[in-house]
Amino acid sequence: MESIEIDLGERSYPIAIGSGILSDAAIYQGLPAAAQAVIVSNGTVAPLFEARLRAVLQPRYKNIQTVVLPDGEEHKNWQTLNLIFDALLTHGCDRKTLMFALGGGVIGDMTGFAAACYMRGVPFVQVPTTLLAQVDSSVGGKTAINHPLGKNMIGAFYQPQLVVCDLETLVSLPQRELSAGLAEVIKYGPIADMGFMAWLEANMPALLARDAIALSQAVKRSVEIKAEVVGQDEKEAGLRAILNFGHTFGHAMEAGMGYGKWLHGEGVGAGMVMAAELSQRLNLVDQDFVQRLRRLIECAGLPAKGAVIDEKDNAGRYLELMRVDKKSQAGEIRFVLIDGPGKAVVQSAPDDLVREVIDACCI
Ligand code: NAD
Ligand code: GLY
């Protein structure tokens, strides 16, 4: 087992990575004592792993409740969040109650937000079961729900006590979800580590075949980079925004098509190509780099072309949605661009140029 510490002073915590560790009682030893624990999961993940998690927690917590939410990005909203509060109140959960997010990024983001709000904050643990959640969403304390007008618009920064990345859980993941997770893995190359990008190019077939060693290396390096960035800028005053490479375009696709049509990672995949293309048109990288990134995204089984979200004025609709992005300032969209391979920069771009990129990159 590997353990990576995220250094956030009194909010520091370990990210444990290994095979079968979900059932290892030693992992949970350092957690705060409590009478109650609540596992939040969904109808797909709970039948796979809830019994194992419950069994390992049983000796530590007298009373364990499980809340099973509907599965899907389209349920990442107030109505579903309220189901968690309903359960916490119905079961008389106190402010020491420990919550466990068992699932992908949707469950992790919603459980974390519920933990941040319930009685003004109860401790929680991330047990991510998708590749995307293991390499990104479970680490760093961003929690949120969606709003029809914008993705992840209602939320809080709220750190977990522990992250448990059990690589064995990835065995049952549908192939499309594995590819979606690879989008968030790929992003770490262009923004921070071109050696990692070269490693991904060489190891993509092994990753797609779920080779255990390759997956463990990909998760470990991704978490290391994320922990390093978040350790320097927990609340995204500046640097942390680079982790949103591809997300400005990607979020517009998700919201524009309706949440759940394209997976988050698919939007990020095509969005990274668009952001790289914009970087090239601003003379920050050359066309060879854009081609190289496009190839890697295609090899991962991801869309490299953006989606058309409006038949009449596609670029106009993208611009409208991207203005709502959290990085926007005074109505000006700010993009994560590649400023030479391995380095990211956050800056605005002329609308005309952004329109050109959208027209060139969408199917
Ligand atoms: P998801 O949570 O919807 O999970 C994908 C699908 O896989 C779901 O149907 C889920 O039930 C199923 N699943 C989960 N684990 C499984 C397993 N082991 N075996 C079989 N099926 C399994 O999607 P996701 O890609 O994990 O996460 C996407 C979400 O994460 C988005 O809402 C995105 O906004 C959010 N996100 C948040 C952050 C952050 O920093 N908080 C970062 C990136 C993404
Ligand atoms: N997924 C982007 C971030 O955590 O900042």
For the stretch 213-243, pLDDT in tens is 999 999 999 999 999 999 999 999 999 999 9
Whether residue 105 contacts residue 73, with contact meaning beta carbons closer than 8 Å, is answered with no
Question: Tens of pLDDT along 21-33?
Answer: 999 999 999 999 9
Q: What is the pTM of this model?
A: 0.97
pLDDT tier, 326 (very low <50, low <70, confident <90, very high otherwise): confident
Burial tier of 210 (Cβ tally within 10 Å: 0-12, 13-18, 19+): middle
- Could you give the residue range(s) of every CATH 1.20.1090.10 domain in the chain? 185-361
- Please say if 120 is a catalytic residue: yes
Long-range contacts of range 26-30, CB-CB < 8 Å, 24 or more positions apart?
A: 27/1, 27/162, 27/164, 28/56, 28/57, 28/60, 28/125, 28/162, 30/161, 30/162
| Residue with CA closest to ligand 1 atom 25 | 132
pLDDT tier, 151 (very low <50, low <70, confident <90, very high otherwise): confident
pLDDT for the residue 149: 83
| Encoded tokens for 329 | 């300032």
pLDDT for the residue 305: 97
Task: Give, in words, the CATH class of 185-361.
Answer: mainly alpha
- Could you give the residue range(s) of every CATH 3.40.50.1970 domain in the chain? 2-172
Going from the Cα of 17 to the center of ligand 2, the distance in angstroms, rounded, reads: 19
User: What is the architecture, at CATH level 2, of domain 2-172?
Assistant: 3-Layer(aba) Sandwich (3.40)
Measured from CB, residues less than 6 Å from any atom of ligand 1 are 42, 44-45, 48, 71, 73, 76, 103-107, 109, 129-130, 132-133, 136-137, 140, 142, 152, 169, 172-173, 177, 180, 264-265
Nearest ligand to the C-alpha atom of residue 230: 2
Question: Tens of pLDDT along 256-293?
Answer: 998 889 999 999 999 999 999 999 999 999 999 999 99
Q: Name the residue with tokens 């942390």.
A: 240
Distance CA 294, CA 274 (A): 10
Distance CA 203, CA 93 (A): 46
Average pLDDT over residues 341-363: 96
Checking if the pLDDT of 141 tops 90, the result is yes
- Residues 6 or more apart whose Cβ sits within 8 Å of residue 350: none
Checking if the pLDDT of 131 tops 90, the result is yes
Per the residue annotation, which of 54, 75, 226, 334 is the catalytic one?
A: 226
Q: Which of 229, 243, 247, 327 to mutate to test the pocket of ligand 2 (most atoms within 8 A of CB)?
A: 243
- Please say if 91 is a catalytic residue: no
Checking if the pLDDT of 335 tops 90, the result is yes
Residues β-bridged to residue 36:
63
235 alpha-carbon distance from chain centroid: 16
Q: How far is CA 184 from CA 177, 191, 223, 301, 326, in A?
A: 11, 11, 11, 13, 19
